[in-house]
Amino acid sequence: MKIVIGHKNLNLEELFNISCLPTQNEVVVDNVISCEFNPQPPQVQNKELQQAPEILSSLALRDDHQRAILLVKLVQLIKLKKNVSKQTINHFVTILNENRKFQTPEGGNFMQSVFEHAKSQNIFFSEKELFILQAQPHTYQAIFALEVYKLQQNLRLLDTSLAYSLETLNVHTDYLNEYALTLGKSTQGATNFKNSILALIDKSKLLSTSNLPDKALNLSKVYQLHGNLHERLLQLSQILTNEFNSEYGSLFQEKKYKELIQIARDQQQEQVNILSQQVSPLSYVIQQLLQLSLVRNAHLQGQKQQQTASFEESKSADSLDLTFETLASQSLLNAYQNELWNAFSKNRAVEAELKSKAEQSQQAEVKQEEGKAGQQQRGKKKGKEAVTSLGFGAGTRKFFDYLLQINLDSQEVFLSKINVLFNKELDSVLNEVLEQRNEERRKPKCAKGTRDMTPLQMAIRERAFFIIKSVFKKHGASEIDTPVFELKETLMGKYGEESKLIYDLEDQGGELLSLRYDLTVPFARYVALNNLASIKRFHIAKVYRRDNPQMNKGRFREFYQCDFDIAGQYSLMIPDSEVLKVVIEILEQLDIGEFVIKINHRKFLDAMVEIAGCEKRKFKAICSSVDKLDKEPWEKVREELITMKGLTPEMTDKLERFVKLVGSPIELLQRLKDEQVFAGHKEGEETIKEMEVLFEYLQSMNCLHRLSFDFSLARGLDYYTGLIYEAVLTDPSNKVGSIAGGGRYDGLVGMFSGKQIPAVGVSIGIERVFAILEEKLKRDNQVRATETQIYIAQIGKNLVAERLKICSELWSIGVKAETAYQDNPKTQRQLEFTLESGIPLILWLGENEVKEGVIKIKSLSKHEEYTFKREELLDRILDIVRENPILLPQDLQPKGAEQKPEEEKKQSE
């Protein structure tokens, strides 16, 4: 299988496949990226200075670890783009695809052999390439990421083995259910473990209801540690993936890149120390679980082993080599495999004995029946069927049956087959086992993060769209549309850390496609493709994000966006001010509550990060953390910046000064000037002047009072180059997050055409707006699902043709009319339908009316009746409709309150 790297972040599955399954996978560099590499070999002044990076000699690196390191180094080299030679990239791709093995020299490391091999091929590395190859943090992140992935993939096996073992030991049912139900309320990892246990033990008959389990099993500790293991592996996999995909390339774009490189080198040891602190707790959890597994294993073999005296006090050493040894030895997986083998062997023997006894009993009954041949056995009750199998839970039963089916005659064979990483059949069995409890999956339902829309909801949405479109058109925008999917290369590299949320499609005929993530990048592609110099456009359409949905807060995986953008070369801040005016007009007309528009500037963020002394390569990571300040306190964000983003406490203290700057636009801008916050910083001082111009324009349009100048606003998208803004509701009861956002993106169109066309725009989060609007309109009874103006009802029989004729005539002049689909509908049901639907008029058609050529229309809102000749219908109906607007719910009368017409009274008499 070809694994393409370069166009997106490397994930852990790809890292494993290339590192551990080299003969089944081939590394390919994305063609789009490879065009950016330097075609010339690097100019190396002193070839004797080509030194391999230092790696802890105590780390016992296997071939898969070496390949993981080389792959991550390749990914980092690719991110250098024009600063890396094509020769260097091809060299490392060849090494990986040839599965070349490097011996570790005595007292050295395998990278020394890598460098010697390159030298033998007359390949030398530039200063910038050497920096990447010698960087220590990514070296350790690669090998830990590989081992974390291996253990994480076997988590389902560990959970299943634990449940199976505890059932075999006949532990008390209250223990399993109590701890399974109480754990996992605070963390995702513990919740995953809880769900696994409940799925496995469901309907188990092996759990004891009388005797409590031996205290040595320490089930409370077992459950806590398993939940902790789930959570730590989940967290570490995210941290390590983010870290080894982070970019150093931006360092080399600066004139003083040598100084920046030296600063980065000085900070590497601190980053390694942070990594050690992140992974060492995992080693402690594993050691604890190992000791508990030994205790259970002893019980399975009929021994009563107690916990060691140092059990509670044992701690793992806070060092990389010992933690790595704990992970790389796969000691936890091996311990659980041994425990599983003993439980399986015991249960297999028990079931074999049960079946043997059942067969003997059946044979005895047959002989007894033969001896009583010819005798009447009436009234004799049939005996209970013999038990032939153990009463495992719904999940563990399937798991046990799978183990029985495969050839597991010896423990050696057993251990080789019971590993999810190399046994896809086991992987599918565990998936089925853990989904056993989800019976609701058989019922039809919407995919996660999506929903159906009722007629009433669609009516509300249409009202919102009408308001938004009206404002867009009022400002002279034209509407466009683009495909729902784009070439994958169009979307990749535009969204920073959020690129992982893009939905990829299956390869269809050689094109790699993805569902659009937003409407801005497709718009930039549209402008470039059509060679437009300027355009003012709006676009309302669905977009797709593989996000964690929060339906009650208007956060979905499939949702509408309403975009307004102005592209073209214009004077400073004039388009920007109009875009903000558009947002304010829309939110005011939607009338969903008080709101404020937070505003900031990308160049302020750049200056803030630089003044704090942070590496520029971490700009995106820092901004993604800072952007959480509207949901989390600074203390929590600060901790994330230090532990997960690798910043020093001094850096975060400097950042704190900036991110807490917030206030009214004019006042805060004046404060920036008075306190000389950006004194000596060219871009910062220029941006202050730009903001002065913007605030002047907004003041003239009487909308500056809607803005809040907020330095904590750091929208995470990669493409913003100037002004950024976000609209939020100020009512604390509306916890839906931002309801609109946007900014200036002067470089996005140029990514597709090479021609720089500045652009600025905004996107209205219609789903979140809709959630508020729906609640408000339903509460106030201000909406109904249909717009029908008149209902054509009949009394009597054989009037279908006349009803349809009247409907057709009304439709022809634009009147919205309905009639029943039954040939002889009941009168009461027609009246009820009219009232429930909020239809203001009902035309009663009876045999007498047809004979006399008369039309009778009843107004349900005014309680008036209109009677006129049949031929006057089209002349009079438009005036009647105008006099009787659509009924809203509060206008409706109780069912049956409306009087029947005279014709019906006569018939009922």
Whole-number pLDDT of residue 751: 81
**Residue 585 and residue 694 in one domain:** no
- State the total domains in the chain: 4
Of the candidates 878, 854, 879, 882, the one whose C-alpha atom is nearest the C-alpha of residue 868 is 854
Q: Does residue 260 or residue 171 have the better pLDDT?
A: 171
Q: Given a cut of 70, is residue 564 above it in pLDDT?
A: yes
What is the DSSP code (8-state) at residue 723? E
Residue 40 lies in a domain: no
**Residue 550 and residue 493 in one domain:** yes
User: Residue range 793-812: average pLDDT?
Assistant: 94
Q: Does residue 492 or residue 304 have the better pLDDT?
A: 492
Q: Does residue 908 or residue 111 have the better pLDDT?
A: 111
Of the candidates 244, 218, 258, the one whose C-alpha atom is nearest the C-alpha of residue 136 is 244
Confidence of residue 508 (pLDDT cuts 50, 70, 90): low
Residue 354 lies in a domain: no
Highest-confidence range of 52-61, 77-86, 625-634, by mean pLDDT? 77-86
**Residue 585 and residue 626 in one domain:** no
Whole-number pLDDT of residue 47: 58
Whole-number pLDDT of residue 526: 93
Confidence of residue 105 (pLDDT cuts 50, 70, 90): low
Looking at residue 587, which CATH number applies to its domain? 3.30.930.10
Contacts of 696 (CB under 8 A, 6+ apart): none
DSSP 772-784: HHHHHHHHHT---
**Residue 498 and residue 570 in one domain:** yes
User: Residue range 93-113: average pLDDT?
Assistant: 79
**Residue 689 and residue 632 in one domain:** yes
Lowest mean pLDDT among 522-536, 581-595, 752-766: 752-766
Whole-number pLDDT of residue 573: 95
Confidence of residue 207 (pLDDT cuts 50, 70, 90): confident
Residue 688 lies in a domain: yes
Report residue 326 as tokens.
Answer: 């704990």
**Residue 258 and residue 157 in one domain:** yes
**Backbone phi, psi, residue 53, to 5°:** -70, 155
**Residue 557 and residue 605 in one domain:** no
Report residue 55 as tokens.
Answer: 């790696």
DSSP strand E in 304-451: where?
A: none
User: Residue range 730-755: average pLDDT?
Assistant: 82
Average pLDDT, the chain: 82
Of the candidates 809, 818, 800, the one whose C-alpha atom is nearest the C-alpha of residue 876 is 809
Q: Given a cut of 70, is residue 770 above it in pLDDT?
A: yes
Whole-number pLDDT of residue 437: 55
Which tens digit of pLDDT belongs to each residue from 315-355? 444 578 888 888 888 889 989 888 888 888 888 888 888 88
**Residue 265 and residue 145 in one domain:** yes
Of the candidates 395, 507, 466, the one whose C-alpha atom is nearest the C-alpha of residue 160 is 395
Q: Given a cut of 70, is residue 212 above it in pLDDT?
A: no
Lowest mean pLDDT among 159-173, 299-313, 672-686: 299-313
**Backbone phi, psi, residue 681, to 5°:** -100, 110
Output the CA angle 420-152-278, nearest 5 degrees. Answer: 155
Q: Given a cut of 60, is residue 424 above it in pLDDT?
A: yes
**Residue 183 and residue 238 in one domain:** yes
Which tens digit of pLDDT belongs to each residue from 830-871? 999 998 888 999 999 999 999 999 999 999 888 899 999 999
Confidence of residue 171 (pLDDT cuts 50, 70, 90): confident
Residue 353 lies in a domain: no
Q: Given a cut of 70, is residue 499 above it in pLDDT?
A: yes
Q: Given a cut of 80, is residue 439 above it in pLDDT?
A: no
Which tens digit of pLDDT belongs to each residue from 178-190? 555 555 455 666 6
The residue type found at 324 is F
Q: Given a cut of 50, is residue 38 above it in pLDDT?
A: yes
Quick check: 434 and 196 in contact, CB under 8 A? yes
Which tens digit of pLDDT belongs to each residue from 588-598? 999 888 899 99
Lowest mean pLDDT among 99-113, 517-531, 869-883: 99-113
Whole-number pLDDT of residue 254: 52
Q: Does residue 865 or residue 302 have the better pLDDT?
A: 865
**Residue 588 and residue 607 in one domain:** no
Separation CA 283–CA 290 (nearest Å): 11
Q: What percent of the chain has pLDDT over 90?
A: 30
Q: Which residues pair with 555 in a beta bridge?
A: 550
Of the candidates 324, 336, 333, 27, the one whose C-alpha atom is nearest the C-alpha of residue 146 is 324
Residue 695 lies in a domain: yes
Of the candidates 74, 70, 51, the one whose C-alpha atom is nearest the C-alpha of residue 143 is 70
- Residue indicated by tokens 């907020």: 710
Which tens digit of pLDDT belongs to each residue from 12-22? 999 999 999 98
Residue 765, phi-psi category: left (phi > 0), alpha (psi -120 to 50), beta (remainder)? beta
Separation CA 406–CA 408 (nearest Å): 6
Query: Is pTM beyond 0.75 here?
Result: no
Whole-number pLDDT of residue 900: 42
At which of 278, 296, 321 does a domain end? Answer: 278
At which of 687, 708, 730 does a domain end? Answer: 730
Whole-number pLDDT of residue 186: 55
Of the candidates 142, 118, 143, the one whose C-alpha atom is nearest the C-alpha of residue 130 is 118
Q: Which helix (H) or strand (E) holds 620?
A: helix 619-626
Residue 300 lies in a domain: no
Lowest mean pLDDT among 99-103, 600-604, 892-896: 892-896
Whole-number pLDDT of residue 631: 78
Separation CA 174–CA 483 (nearest Å): 55
**Residue 623 and residue 688 in one domain:** yes
Q: Given a cut of 70, is residue 255 above it in pLDDT?
A: no
Whole-number pLDDT of residue 34: 79
Expressed as residue numbers, the domain containing 491 is 455-593+765-783
Separation CA 675–CA 95 (nearest Å): 56
Report residue 667 as tokens.
Answer: 């006042």
Residue 672 lies in a domain: yes
**Residue 150 and residue 174 in one domain:** yes
Q: Given a cut of 70, is residue 175 above it in pLDDT?
A: no
Q: Does residue 436 or residue 500 have the better pLDDT?
A: 500
Q: What percent of the chain has pLDDT over 70?
A: 84
Whole-number pLDDT of residue 496: 65
Confidence of residue 156 (pLDDT cuts 50, 70, 90): confident
Residue 381 lies in a domain: no
Helices (H), 318-448: 320-328, 331-371, 394-405, 411-417, 424-434
Which tens digit of pLDDT belongs to each residue from 871-903? 999 999 999 999 987 755 444 433 333 444 444
Lowest mean pLDDT among 159-163, 391-395, 445-449, 904-908: 904-908
Whole-number pLDDT of residue 497: 63
Q: Residue 662, SS3?
A: strand
Which tens digit of pLDDT belongs to each residue from 616-666? 778 877 887 888 887 788 888 888 888 878 888 888 888 888 888 889 999
